[in-house]
Each structure stands twice: as structure tokens, then as C-alpha cells.
Amino acid sequence: MLSLLSNGILSVTFGNIVMMLISLGLIYLAIAKKYEPALLVPIGFATILANIPFSSAVDQFMDGVLHKGVLNVFFDVGIVTEIFPLLIFIAVGAMIDFGPLLENPVMFLFGAAAQFGIFATMIVATMLGFDIKQAASIGIIGAADGPTSIYVASRFAKELLGPISVAAYSYMSLVPIIQPPVIKALTTKEERMIKMEAKSVKITKTMRIVFPIAVTIIASLLAPASAALIGFLMFGNLLRECGVLNGLAKSAQNELANIVTILLGLSIGSTMTADKFLKPQTLMIIVLGLVAFILDTAGGVLFAKFLNLFLRKKINPMLGAAGISAFPMSARVIHILGRKEDPTNYLLMHAIGANVAGQIGSVLAGGILVALVSSLGGM
């Protein structure tokens, strides 16, 4: 009887201990440093549960019979079916105001350019020995958009979902540390001081309503593989903008976002077991995630500088860096950098325009990757 009770303690492995330390580290970063706490706390806690020997929270074989663990049930129901990331997109869509982008549509270009890191990192990952599906899942960390990363990784590389999610959400929190040195290295002080005129275009309610519907139809026709991603994002935005579903829009922004975030975090944590996580691959993914963010930022800034070669009214090239998704963190970073160079420079609304364009760009990039890898990769 006593041996039955002490079975759990005696079965703890070195890997279990390391994973518990990692989970405590994630919980510490989430609470003390406020690094994406909504996701890292559930991930960290589920990681503890998943690394306890014979834990009833995860699948266990006992006497040859499979006993389903609740965390694995969450994973099967929400991640394998791709439902959780898609529901999160409804919430994200309900939170986003596309007004600044409609006022300044040129920002769409930065939303595309700043996805450079996704594709470049995918190539680097294959050079390091990852297969094309794993490489695409790693590259998508550069979308700077957690749900898109989870969506693509759950499609192509479920075994890497834990490290990819942790990298994606951690680097999103670290945008204020990652982006400024890259931007400063690629721009001169004069360029960073370029002032942007405030836009006086009045965005009507009709435009706000038509926008999500039109984007869904056009994007889905151009890249059908992105229909679910972009469709759910834009559906959430339509709830927000239509004006007759304020209750639903608020529920999407709050209750839906909170509930699904908890379930998403717990599901991801269930994959972070020692045998899956403690591999050299994990370190490579963490490094490649950082590379993706750096290349995204560089791609956006360099594209803005390239545009400036042809424009009479120059664009502040820092705005290109806001084209990575990481909404609204990246926009704030660009605004603060601009104010540091010139306290009278007000870049926030332009940067938010680029930032929400990055949201659309990252979702489209995810859909395009799914389509291309599924076909070229021989799936």
C-alpha cells in the first residue's frame, strides 16, 4: 500500500525535474515580468501537471488500458481540430480597430514586407536539418502572432508545438528589447526623425463594415487556405463594427478570449513533457524564433527605405518594423523610439496602421504557408 503511494515520488526522473524548473521559470516570467501572463501561466502550470509521473491530467497506460487525461482531451478537442486558435482569432478581430489602416492604406505594404522573417527563417531551419513541415512551423514564429503559430504548427508539426508556442509568445513580449537595436542599426538618426503627417480621412461606419467582409472574400479567393484564419479574424471584427452586436463583440473580447486562452495554454502545456521538450531541437527553435523576429523587423525597415527611394514625401522607415504583427506592442515601441529622437514626432496612429496590417499579413502568410507546404511538400 505504501509503495503504491510513494510510486509517484520514486518515479520522478531528471527530465521531470528540469521540466518543472522550466515551468516555474515560465510562471515567474509571466507573473514577475508580465511576459504574456495570460498564456504563460496556464502553459507553465500544465507543464507541471504533465511532468508528474502517472499524472491523471495526461494520458496514462495502466495495465494496458489507456486512461485519457483531461489535458490531452483539451489538446485533441481544441488543437488537433484547430478550433482554439480559430476562436482566438474571433476575439482578436473583435479587439482590433482597422481605422488607422483604412486612413493610411500604404501601411498594407509594411504588413507584407515585415513577414520576411517567416520565409527566411523557414529556409534557415531546413539548412539546420528540419524537414519542410517543421521548418514552416518554426518560420511562422516570425508571424509574431501566437494563434497563427499554433495553427500552422498544429497542422504540420504537433511534436514541436510546445517550444514553438513558448518561443512565439515569449518573443512577442520581448519586442521592446528585440526591435530597437535592429531598427537603430538599419536607420540613421535623420531617418528616425522623419515626421509623418496626420491623416484627416474620415472613415465611415459603412467602410468599417464592408472592410472585414471584403477582406474575407478577396483574401479567401486569392489564398483559399487562409479562409478559416482570415475569416474568423474578420468575423470578430464585423461583430465589433456592425454596431448591432455590441454584446457579442464584448463577449468575444473578454469571455471568449479569456476562456479559450486558458484552454489553449493548458493544451500546449500538456505537450511539454521531458521526452518531447528536452531536445537540442528546442534550443534551435528558440534561437530560430529570435532570428525570425529580427529578420521581420529588418525586412520591414529595409522595405520602407526602399519605398523612400521613389517617394517625394518620405516615410519614417521605423514604421516598417511595426508591420510585424505583435499588436499593439510593436506600434508602441516605434512610437516611443520616434519620440526619443524627436519629442514632437507623433507616430502612434501610423504605427498602429502598420501593426494591424501586420496582423492581416501574418494571418495571410500562415494560410499561404499551409497551402504551399501542403502542395510543394508533397502532403
Partner 1 sequence: MNVENVLTAVRVGLSGYVFLILTLVIFFGLVTLFVKLFAKGEDDGKENNE
185: number of Cβ within 10 Å: 11
Instruction: Please classify residue 130 by burial: count the beta carbons closer than 10 Å to its beta carbon, then call 0-12 exposed, 13-18 middle and 19+ buried.
Output: buried
Residue whose CB is less far from partner 1, 112 or 228: 112
Please tell me the distance from the alpha carbon of residue 329 to that of residue 132, in angstroms, as a whole number. 30
Q: What 3-state class would DSSP assign to 247?
A: helix
Per-residue binder mask for partner 1 (CB under 8 A), 78-117, x = binder: -----------------------xxx-xx-xx-xxx-xx-
Using the rule CB under 8 A, is 153 a contact of partner 1? no
Among 48, 50, 87, 122, contact with partner 1 (rule: CB under 8 A): 122
Among 90, 175, 219, 266, binds partner 1 (CB under 8 A): 219
Cα–Cα distance measured from residue 179 to residue 325, given in angstroms and rounded to the nearest whole number: 13
Stretch binding partner 1 (CB under 8 A), from 16-24, 131-139, 272-280, 309-317: 131-139
Residues 194, 357, 321, 178, CA torsion sign: positive
Q: How is residue 259 written as a grid cell? A: 476562456
Q: Which stretches within 242-324 are classed as H helix?
A: 246-251, 257-270, 274-277, 280-308, 318-321
For partner 1, the closer CB: 60 or 374? 374
Minimal distance, residue 96 CB to partner 1, in Å: 15
The answer to whether 245 and 251 have CB atoms below 8 angstroms apart is no
Reference 357, options 249, 253, 204, 219; nearest CA is 219
Name the nearest CA neighbour of 15 among 50, 61, 60, 64. 50
Closest approach, Cβ 273 to partner 1, in A, equals: 27
Please identify, using beta-carbon distances, which residue of 192 and 240 lies nearer to partner 1.
240
Task: Name the residue nearer to partner 1 (CB basis): 51 or 220.
Answer: 220
Q: Which residues contact 144 (CB under 8 A, 6 or more apart)?
A: 168, 171, 172, 175, 293, 296, 324, 325, 326, 330, 358, 362
Other beta carbons within 10 angstroms of residue 66's beta carbon come to 10
- Residue 379 sits in the site that holds partner 1 (CB under 8 A): no
Q: What is the DSSP letter of 254?
A: I
Q: Per-residue x/- marks for partner 1, 334-373, CB under 8 A?
A: -----------------------x--xx--xx--xx--xx
Beta strands 65-67 and 60-62 are antiparallel
The only residue of 21, 24, 77, 123 in contact with partner 1, by rule CB under 8 A: 123
Closest CB to partner 1 among 50 and 370? 370
CB atoms within 10 A of CB 47: 30
What is the C-alpha to C-alpha distance for residues 356 and 107, in angstroms, rounded to an integer?
9
The site that binds partner 1 (CB under 8 A) totals a number of residues, namely 52
Q: Which of 132, 174, 248, 307 binds partner 1 (CB under 8 A)?
A: 132
The residue among 49 and 234 lying less far from partner 1, judged by its C-beta, is 234
Instruction: Name the amino acid, one letter, at 230.
Output: I
Q: Residue 120, interface with partner 1 (CB under 8 A)?
A: yes
Among 131, 177, 185, 283, contact with partner 1 (rule: CB under 8 A)? 131
CB closer to partner 1 out of 8 and 377: 377
Nearer CB in complex with partner 1: 150/369: 369
**Residues 157-216 within binding reach of partner 1 (CB under 8 A):** 201-204, 206-207, 210-211, 214-215
**Of 238 and 274, which CB lies nearer to partner 1 in the complex structure?**
238
Which residues make up the interface to partner 1 (CB under 8 A)? Answer: 101-103, 105-106, 108-109, 111-113, 115-116, 118-120, 122-123, 125-129, 131-132, 135-136, 139, 201-204, 206-207, 210-211, 214-215, 218-219, 222-223, 357, 360-361, 364-365, 368-369, 372-373, 376-377
